Amino acid sequence: MADPIDIVVAGGGMVGSAFAAALADSPLQIHVINAHPPSPWQEHHYDTRVSAINLASESILSSVDSWQHVQERRAAPFREIEVSDHITGQTLCFDAADSGLAHLGHIVENSAITEALRLRLEAAPNVTVSQNDRVQSVNHAQGQILVSTEQHQIITARLLVGADGATSTIRALSGISFNRVPYGQTALVSTVTTREHHGDIARQRFLPTGPIAFLPLADGRCSIVWSADSAYAEKLMAMTDPAFLAELNTAFPNQLDVTFATPRQSFILEQLHTSTYCVERIALIGDAAHTLHPLAGLGVNLGLLDAASLAETILHVIDHHRDIGGVSTLRRYERWRKGENTLALATIEAIHQFFQQSNPLAHQLRAAGMSFCQRNPFINRFFVHRATGLSGDLPRAARYAET
């Protein structure tokens, strides 16, 4: 068995890699174990999985020297968000310029983010990464944690960070309970070619069956995320390409006019939140601790805030010679992030419910509410502030300074 190290990170997705990168070049020895290597970024093929990355996440990725690498690959800034309601015909617009910003965020391929972080971790002398291996069991032993993997590695550490996604093994092994609420919806994603240019606008339309988003890409195409009631989503998945295009153009009758869609991928949607983010020597970050509806593109943005907050908490306690895996350290991280994430989950749930209501009174309220928000610059700026991730108690790495 190798010498004890400081931190084992289970999961090398966007969140686990960002956490390790935030501690790169620190005095801590870190080992990242990742079950599946992330897909490599490809210059001539747009990754179907993209994320809307807000300004707080842009700062976090800059703070770990990865944002420039992301931009050198592909990142599409969007300067407007347009939200429309199919039933009432109301539209809400949020413009970066109204808040004195150049953009509200970027649409970035997930593979561009994981590749940029991989390069950062490879350059860090204190970080080791094992791909194609997974944490299988954990045992507590005298102020340390013993982690065993499928490939027969046994690692002793002071802290285990579970960044292993929505079906987290670490969450299960640590006995942390969670609340899971299925949305009854499935999200379809595809990259689509449109007749008209997207104009750097992120569009979202709420249909009676769920929201559909058109996210602008750097090559002029759009990534769609179509969240639909599961039975309808199954039909959409089974449609021929021409039938799907016709359905899409009817569902989102905007000026863009879709002419081609790449093969669709689907994801079952559910909300999940753990009762706690930590037990002695174990902390959860990212989707391992919480998942939510993609309608506001928040999942990885919240996960990156977890990663930056936990890293900042750890750097603070090592400066004060305290135990990085002790419950008091980990509770400090939990107090910081759980309230913020609970608020985000509740807000998304409220928006989801607001647009799901089918009775005429709810439609009238929706029309009045959207029209009020559109006319009130204060409320408009409040939403922009939240959408860019620049509200709440932010870790230092997330504080955005426009360059």
Ligand X SMILES: Cc1cc2nc3c(=O)[nH]c(=O)nc-3n(C[C@H](O)[C@H](O)[C@H](O)COP(=O)(O)OP(=O)(O)OC[C@H]3O[C@@H](n4cnc5c(N)ncnc54)[C@H](O)[C@@H]3O)c2cc1C
Q: Compute the Cα dihedral for 296, 297, 303, 305 and give only its sign.
A: negative
Q: Give the helix/strand (H/E) hosting 268.
A: strand 265-274
What is the closest distance, in whole angstroms, from the C-beta atom of residue 86 to ligand X in the complex?
A: 20
Q: Compute the Cα dihedral for 39, 269, 309, 104 and give only its sign.
A: positive
Among 7, 13, 186, 191, binds ligand X (CB under 6 A): 13
Told to check if 165 binds ligand X by CB under 6 A, we report: yes
**Contacting residues for 173 by C-beta, under 8 A, at least 6 apart:** 135, 137, 138
Among 5, 14, 201, 384, binds ligand X (CB under 6 A): 14
Among 210, 211, 303, 325, binds ligand X (CB under 6 A): 303
Told to check if 363 binds ligand X by CB under 6 A, we report: no
Told to check if 395 binds ligand X by CB under 6 A, we report: no
Of residues 88 and 309, the one with the C-beta less far from ligand X: 309
Binding mask 211-230 for ligand X (x = CB under 6 A): --------------x-----
Rounded to whole angstroms, the Cα distance separating 224 from 262 reads 10
CB contact at 8 A, 266 and 160? no
What is the closest distance, in whole angstroms, from the C-beta atom of residue 216 to ligand X in the complex?
A: 12
Of residues 172 and 368, the one with the C-beta less far from ligand X: 172
Rounded to whole angstroms, the Cα distance separating 94 from 267 reads 28
Q: Where are the alpha helices (DSSP H) in 95-142?
A: 110-122
Told to check if 299 binds ligand X by CB under 6 A, we report: yes
Q: Tell me the pairing of strands 144-149 and 222-229.
A: unpaired
Q: Which residues pair with 139 in a beta bridge?
A: 146
Told to check if 173 binds ligand X by CB under 6 A, we report: no
Q: Which of residues 59-118 bind ligand X (CB under 6 A)?
A: none
Told to check if 298 binds ligand X by CB under 6 A, we report: yes
Give residue for tokens 């089974």: 238
Told to check if 297 binds ligand X by CB under 6 A, we report: yes
Q: Which residue, among 384, 403, 336, 303, has the nearest Cα to 62 in the 3D structure?
A: 403
Told to check if 56 binds ligand X by CB under 6 A, we report: no
**Contacting residues for 238 by C-beta, under 8 A, at least 6 apart:** none
Told to check if 34 binds ligand X by CB under 6 A, we report: yes
What is the closest distance, in whole angstroms, from the C-beta atom of residue 382 to ligand X in the complex?
A: 20
Q: Tell me the pairing of strands 80-85 and 201-207.
A: parallel
Told to check if 121 binds ligand X by CB under 6 A, we report: no
Q: Which residue, among 75, 43, 385, has the nearest Cα to 223 in the 3D structure?
A: 75
Of residues 107 and 256, the one with the C-beta less far from ligand X: 107
DSSP 35-63: SSPPPPPBTTB--S-EEEEEHHHHHHHHH
CB contact at 8 A, 99 and 2? no
Rounded to whole angstroms, the Cα distance separating 44 from 132 reads 26
CB contact at 8 A, 147 and 281? no
- Tell how far CA 139 is from the center of its chain: 30
Of residues 90 and 190, the one with the C-beta less far from ligand X: 190
Residues in the interface with ligand X (CB under 6 A) total 33
Of residues 166 and 373, the one with the C-beta less far from ligand X: 166
The pair of three-digit structure tokens given for residue 203, joined into one six-digit string: 């569009």
Of residues 34 and 174, the one with the C-beta less far from ligand X: 34
Question: Could you tell me which stretch among 70-78, 160-168, 276-284, 392-400 binds ligand X (CB under 6 A)?
Answer: 160-168
- Residue 358 phi, psi dihedral angles, 5° rounding: -110, 0
Of residues 36 and 399, the one with the C-beta less far from ligand X: 36
What is the closest distance, in whole angstroms, from the C-beta atom of residue 99 to ligand X in the complex?
A: 20
Among 8, 16, 127, 336, binds ligand X (CB under 6 A): 16
Told to check if 187 binds ligand X by CB under 6 A, we report: yes
Question: Could you tell me which stretch among 7-15, 63-71, 202-210, 311-319 binds ligand X (CB under 6 A)?
Answer: 7-15
Of residues 216 and 297, the one with the C-beta less far from ligand X: 297
Among 300, 308, 384, 394, binds ligand X (CB under 6 A): 300
Q: Which residues bind ligand X (CB under 6 A)?
A: 10-16, 33-36, 51-52, 134-135, 163-166, 169, 187, 189, 225, 267, 286-287, 294, 297-301, 303
